Amino acid sequence: MNDFNPHPHDENAEANYNKKQVKSVARTIDLLLLFADTRRYLTLQDISDMMGLPKSSTFELVNTMVQKGILELKHSGRKTYGLSLLAFEIGSAAIADIGVIDVARPYLQELNRVTGGTVFLGVENRGSIVYIDRAEDFAMLKADAKVGSRRDLHSTSLGKALLYALSDDQILKILGPEPYPANTPVTNTTSIAVLKDAKVSRERGYAIDNREDGPYMYCIGSVLRNHRNEPIASISVSSLATSLNDQKKKFIAEKVKETAMLISRQLGFRGTVLYGI
């Protein structure tokens, strides 16, 4: 007997049951992606509106995920929901499989020690830069980006560093239609400005976020390449902008470039420059 078939002698009922199960799985995945993209707590009404679901279906979906420990009620008064620690653990397990974290971590820690800035490691995912590791023990001011958080590629040095390792056509395809989001008044929001910044960044060998993602931070980043010369990740150092003079900026930039090459060598890269476009 097939224990998973509620109607063993009714093929139409079985087909309908299977379709319902697949639809439920798809909705579950869509809801997880919704929380990952919005990066805020949501009410049932928020979820219903954003997913285009009836309130009753939304309640069933959210309630099931709460019971399974993937979501949790974050504020009982406002009745907002968010991802649970279990969801973070699942995501962390997936990130660990990338492999670059184990290779990069000791270099990130050393870069944190010598620069005094918060050091990040990131990868591109669905048009955003995702922070997958950080080193901050020696940071005078800890940057607020958390492991697992997403930021725009065009405004962060971590995102730019990886983005600018691609061709101009690839950059524009990933960023999509302009204007791009203006996170501060100095964010590059047009393709002309982004490609101009890309050209300068490639020539000097690193990307800069000078208060473009946040109003107080100055960040320097570089791409990481693997044994197939593919840009697979990036690193950056974030510091309080007012704490840096030109000499300190130059020192951090050289250390970022040096560290990026060392990590890339460990990943099998055999080239001589990380930006060759």
Largest Cα span, the chain:
78
Q: Where are the alpha helices (DSSP H) in 148-245?
A: 157-163, 168-175, 191-204
Percent of the chain scored above 90 by pLDDT?
65
Q: Are 131 and 156 in contact (CB under 8 A)?
A: no
| Residues 103, 109, 114: CA angle, nearest 5 degrees | 130
Enter the tokens of residue 32: 């997880």
3-state secondary structure 23-70: HHHHHHHHHHHHHHHHCCCEEHHHHHHHHCCCHHHHHHHHHHHHHCCC
Q: Are 160 and 184 in contact (CB under 8 A)?
A: no
Q: Please, which residues have CB within 8 angstroms of residue 59's CB and are 6 or more apart in sequence? A: 44
CA distance 221 to 237: 6
215-240 confidence digits (pLDDT tens): 999 999 999 999 889 999 999 999 99
Residue 179: is the preceding peptide bond cis (ω within 30°)? yes
CA distance 248 to 235: 18
Band of the pLDDT at 25, cuts 50, 70, 90?
Answer: confident
- Taking residues 15-32, report their average pLDDT: 74
More confident of the two residues 166 and 137 = 166
- Taking residues 263-268, report their average pLDDT: 92
Band of the pLDDT at 189, cuts 50, 70, 90?
Answer: very high
Band of the pLDDT at 18, cuts 50, 70, 90?
Answer: low
Helix, strand, or coil (residue 12): helix
Nearest to 268 by CA among 230, 214, 235: 230
Nearest to 116 by CA among 263, 240, 246: 240
Helix, strand, or coil (residue 222): strand
Helix, strand, or coil (residue 218): strand
In angstroms, the Cα distances linking 91 to 24, 33, 131, 148 are 21, 12, 12, 8
78-124 confidence digits (pLDDT tens): 889 998 888 877 776 665 555 899 899 999 999 999 999 999 999 99
CA distance 132 to 98: 10
Residue with tokens 């390449």: 225
CA distance 199 to 54: 48
More confident of the two residues 88 and 252 = 252
Band of the pLDDT at 146, cuts 50, 70, 90?
Answer: confident
